[in-house]
Structure 1
Amino acid sequence: MAGRITPAAGRYAGKAAAERQADRRWRFFEAGLDLFGAGPGYRATRLTDVCKAAGLSTRQFYEEFRNLEDLLAELHLYVNDTTQRAVLAALPETEGLSLIDRHSRLFRAYAAGATADPRHARIAYVEVIGVSPRLDRQRLERRARWIDFLCGQAAEAVERGEIPPGDYHVAAAAFIGAVNGLMHDWSVGWVDATLDVVIEELLQILLNRFNMAP
């Protein structure tokens, strides 16, 4: 299918076209979360599987997306945004905390946002890898945002005299790489440890890489 089909306008069953579209889109999102994030996975899922799980038709799917990769791409952005909101919501709570407590609180907020729904973790750390050059770029762009966030936190810590001056970009990139790698391995069952153990190990890496270890 080359492009999306334009949905019909007007009201139906008491709902405006925009309401019906939002409802359809969310049903496809939920189907994608279940099938990609908890079921057979993106590569083993067919378009008809998604439509059946959503209780909608293939025509309705093409009114929202061009293909299954479009759905996966939007789900990847959605789960990343969910995690980002969790971290930003925790930022005001870190005012006045010590360096270690502040960054511990922020990372635990990240971990909670990324793993509260196990489907989110599998999509973010497993399903999007190697799908296409487009999704690789999207994944790296989102990774770059987290690197920039860490560099910003490091710069503020330098200004407060909490850590020595320096270029923390490589340390931030190394840490984000460690998060993605370890969470991937934990998500697919290659790491025999509880989530709490994984989070604690990553937190120790963060504190050591940014000269914050007690």
Structure 2
Amino acid sequence: MKTDSQLQQDVSAELDWEPSVHAARIGVEVKDGVVTLAGQVDSYAEKWNAERAAQRVSGVRALATELQVQLTSLSQRTDADIAAAVENLLEWTSTLASGAVRVVVEGGWVTLSGKVDWQFQRQAATDSVRHLMGVTGVSNQIAIQPAASATGVKLVIEAALKRTAVADARHITVLVHGGDVTLTGTVRNWDERETATHAAWGTPGVRNVVDRMTLVY
């Protein structure tokens, strides 16, 4: 098991290796396996990429982000311009029905709302917006419409876990209440964690996934 010092070095090295991140502007602190990133970045996309880079490092148990998005003068846009760009981009996103997602922008922060049938549609909206110039953050409040019974959802998720790369699906417990799914148990790394949550989100009728799984290295 890595010490906090080793983990700090590995996260810093991963940030240095990630070409979309200005690692020199990001500080890394580690305590009991919990990594904190602090500093300034030029865009929301860079912030997101820094978080993803840190999560790739083996031994990271949790991540806290204190990164501040400070747009350069060339990147600044009015909220009206950002809203228009977001709406135009969503219209060109093939997985989304026209008008399914509503957009509100305040201080560069984009809030998405509305209703879709699947999690991949919900995620596609966020992915489309993340890299737009002038965006300082994204809140995804898009709801997923229920379409299945709790028992059916549980069985489908458990079957999906057995088919995926999760080492031992027996270590993950699936609890379903309506369209809300809670995952508990243990996984060995962030990839297994994402695979498990993806399996849950990929099930029809799931509106919310609560990740209470524990990383065990």
Interval containing the TM-score (normalised by the shorter chain): under 0.3
- Give the TM-score, by structure 1 length: 0.27
Q: 1 or 2 for the larger relative contact order (CA 8 Å, sep ≥6)?
A: 1
Question: Which has the larger helix fraction?
Answer: 1
Q: Which has the larger radius of gyration?
A: 1
- Give the TM-score, by structure 2 length: 0.26
